[in-house]
Amino acid sequence: MVTAVDQEASAKAIEWIKNLTRQVVEAIEKHSKGKGPILSTDPRLTASTLEGQIVRISDILAYVNHDLDDAIRAGVLALSDIPKPILNIFGKTHAQRIETMILDVILETQAQDMQKIWMSPEKLEALIALRTFMFENVYETELVQGELKKAKQIIEKLYEFYTKNPDHLLSEMTLSEFTESIERHALDFISGMTDRFAIQTYQRLHIPRSWHTV
C-alpha cells in the first residue's frame, strides 16, 4: 500500500531529479542494491562514468560490512556462522574486510587502465557469496523483516503526528514559520533522525510515561 509519506517523497524526488545532470540521474538509476550483478560489463546495468561506478561499489562494500557487524552485535549472527572461505579471503574483522576489498578494487581498476571500476575474480566471487549469505541469514529472515515493519510503522506514525500538529513540528525544528509545505518539513525532519532518536521520539509522543509514587 502506498502511503502519504511515499507519495510525498516520490513527488519531491521527481522534482529534485529535474535539476540533476544526465550522468548523475543515470548513476542513481543504476545504483540498485538488490540481488543484481555487483559489477557488470552490461551498459544497461553499469553507469557510464567512473564516478557512478565507484559510488555503487563503495556503497555495496560499506553496507555489506556494516550490516554484518550490526547482525553480529545484535546476536542475529555469530562470527562462526560466516562461511570459512569468505573469512579466509576477507579476514575476520571489519577493518581487515574493508581494507582487503578496497585495496582489491584499487589494484584491479588500475589493471583495467582506469577504464572501469572492477574487482579481481576471487574477491568478487567472495563478495557475491557474502552478500548472498547476508540475504539468506539476515535481510530476508522473519526476525529482521518483522523489525523492518516496526520501523515503517514508527516513521508513518511520526509523519502523521507532525503533519497534524504543525505547531509541535515548528517547535521541534526550532523554526518560527514554515518555508515549505508541512509535509515537506515533516519528511525532512524525520529523515534526519537517527534510528535511536526516532524510537525515542515515537516513545515520547505515543507511549504513556510510567509514573512512580513515593
pLDDT digits (tens, 9 = 90+) for 156-174: 999 999 999 999 999 999 9
Q: Are 65 and 138 in contact (CB under 8 A)?
A: no
| Residue 115 clears pLDDT 60, i.e. is over it | yes
Name the residue range of residue 59's domain.
18-140
> Same structural domain for residues 173 and 73?
no
Quote the pLDDT of residue 35.
85
Query: pTM (2 decimals)?
Result: 0.78
Final residue before a domain boundary, out of 92, 119, 140: 140
The total of other beta-carbon atoms located within 10 Å of residue 185's CB is: 19
| Residue 12 clears pLDDT 70, i.e. is over it | no
Pairwise CA distance, residues 48 & 43, whole Å: 7
Question: Cell for 39?
Answer: 559489477
Query: What mean pLDDT is reported for the chain?
Result: 90
> Same structural domain for residues 33 and 118?
yes
pLDDT digits (tens, 9 = 90+) for 22-65: 898 888 888 876 788 999 999 999 999 999 999 999 999 999 99
> Same structural domain for residues 129 and 148?
no
Contacts of 138 (CB under 8 A, 6+ apart): 67, 68, 71, 76, 77, 144
Q: How confident is the model at residue 150 (pLDDT cuts 50, 70, 90)?
A: very high
Query: Among candidates 87, 94, 90, 44, which has minimal Cα distance to 71?
Result: 94
